[in-house]
Amino acid sequence: MNIVIIGGGFAGLNLAKELLNQEGIQVTLVDKNNYNFFPPLIYQVATAFLEPSSISYPFRKFFAGKKNLQFRLGEVLKVIPSENKVVLNNGELDYDYLVFATGAETSYFGMENVKENAIPMKTLNDAIEMRNTVLKNLEKASICKNTRKRRKLLTIVVVGGGPTGVEVSGMFAEMRKNIFRKEYPELSTTASNIYLIDGSDALLSPMSKASQEDTLEALTKLGVVVKLNSRVVDYVDDTVFMSNGESIQTKNLIWAAGVSAKTFEGIPSESYGRGKRMATDAFNKINGTENIYAIGDTCIQLTDKNFPEGHPQVAQVAIQQGINLAKNFKAINKNSPLSPFKYHDKGAMAIIGKKKAVVDLPKPNWHFKGLLAWMIWLFVHLVSLITYRNRLQTLYNWTIAYFSKDQSLRMIIRPDSKQSLTDKETLC
């Protein structure tokens, strides 16, 4: 049995791991990057509290010595179901079973100016770009003589009140308090604001009301200006325009407001559901196909009676679907009955700042906040990292940051010399 997995995130990698050393099963994992990374912590890379290597690991290093697993660097161009063939940008692969685990990409809701100029928060590349942009703007502000332009360089607007938006807003608020004022004394007399904007009437909308209220209170105490029931409608000339008529001038628009799945040539158009997600049956087989599956954020499954509108696009769904599909491939290999997927909700959590977090556990409907929730968040995310090296490196960085209220990773590292602090825009 030859299985090709497209995408090495939570879903794809857990599927591959569960098929390790299975006799009669050969797995090829394809990804456009040569590394796996841990999305829940990219905001800490973006704010220079973790290095990229702390939350990432090369696929080939992980697959080394695993005889039935192999890695292929490449991007999918199209699928030819009639020939059981997937065409990549660097060749072709034959398959008996094809699995899409391609996750989701940032959605800008059709706003081209936002897409062109905002900083997304979805990939490791996005995190590095955000770190470079914010640090570069701080350096520009430190030598800018024009008060209005300096304030625009220092203002940070985060769009999206989910965990990523909450976490990055809280991190920036604490950095403003403990780091920026010490390292940039030139800016001590300049006002700077951090805004968090969301179109709904509460932050962390999937979580409990208690978590939503605790989060709003904690962020407000940190000095974050939270604007609810407000949608961003455009971003022109460094100005964020909102649906309520308000506007904010900033050079730093961070977009964490929505995601959309990807479409692929060769998959029938009728096989896609809401948000471009591939519609699947109870066993994660894509509707209208014979041997093509989808798991994780890229799929929508309406067969789970507890989630009639589809599962949330969170890590635990992807992990559990990867594990369940692996069990079904083993069953297919042995001509045994298949098991439909049922999601077991293990709860939700978000960190707000140092010793500030919220945790909801579905059974027996417990809610935690403050130090205990913060410790739970740290433990869960630490043990979820892929290797012991990642865990030790991250633990070391967190320990240093905890006791020093700082981290020494704020380097602007550029891929080329085109970006410069001496451009005309800096001369203000």
Averaged pLDDT, groups of 10, the chain, 428 residues long: 97 96 96 94 89 92 94 97 97 98 93 95 92 91 90 95 94 86 80 92 93 96 95 96 95 93 95 95 96 97 93 94 98 96 94 93 88 93 88 86 69 60 56
Which tokens is 346 given?
A: 């293990």
pLDDT digits (tens, 9 = 90+) for 38-56: 999 999 999 888 888 999 9
Cis peptide before 364 (omega within 30 of 0): yes
- Give residue 66's pLDDT: 93
Continuous segment of H or E residues that includes residue 66: none
- Give residue 406's pLDDT: 64
**DSSP assignment letter at 243:** T
Quote the CA–CA distance of 89 and 101 in Å, as a whole number: 18
β-strand pairing of 56-58 with 35-37? antiparallel
Q: Which CATH superfamily is domain 2-32+74-104+261-333 in?
A: FAD/NAD(P)-binding domain (3.50.50.60)
In this structure, which topology does domain 112-258+348-406 adopt according to CATH? FAD/NAD(P)-binding domain (3.50.50)
Helix (H, G, I), strand (E, B) or coil at 161: coil
Quote the CA–CA distance of 414 and 354 in Å, as a whole number: 30
Quote the CA–CA distance of 353 and 351 in Å, as a whole number: 6
Which tokens is 354 given?
A: 């140092």
Strand partners, 87: 78, 92
- Give residue 97's pLDDT: 98
**DSSP assignment letter at 229:** S
pLDDT digits (tens, 9 = 90+) for 121-158: 999 999 999 999 999 999 999 999 898 999 999 999 99
Q: Which residues contact 361 (CB under 8 A, 6 or more apart)?
A: 346, 347, 367, 368
Quote the CA–CA distance of 391 and 187 in Å, as a whole number: 36
Numbered ranges of CATH 3.50.50.60 in the chain: 2-32+74-104+261-333
- Give residue 173's pLDDT: 92
- Give residue 420's pLDDT: 52
Q: How far is CA 25 from the centre of its chain?
A: 31
Given the structure tokens 């470079």, which residue do they identify? Answer: 132
Given the structure tokens 């991190």, which residue do they identify? Answer: 171
* Gyration radius from the chain CA atoms: 23
- Give residue 222's pLDDT: 94
Shortest CA distance to 341 belongs to which of 324, 353, 326?
324
Numbered ranges of CATH 3.50.50.100 in the chain: 112-258+348-406
- Give residue 155's pLDDT: 95
- Give residue 203's pLDDT: 96
Question: Following DSSP, what letter does each residue of 244-262 receive, concatenated?
Answer: TS-EEE-SEEEE-S-EE--
Q: Which residues contact 371 (CB under 8 A, 6 or more apart)?
A: 355
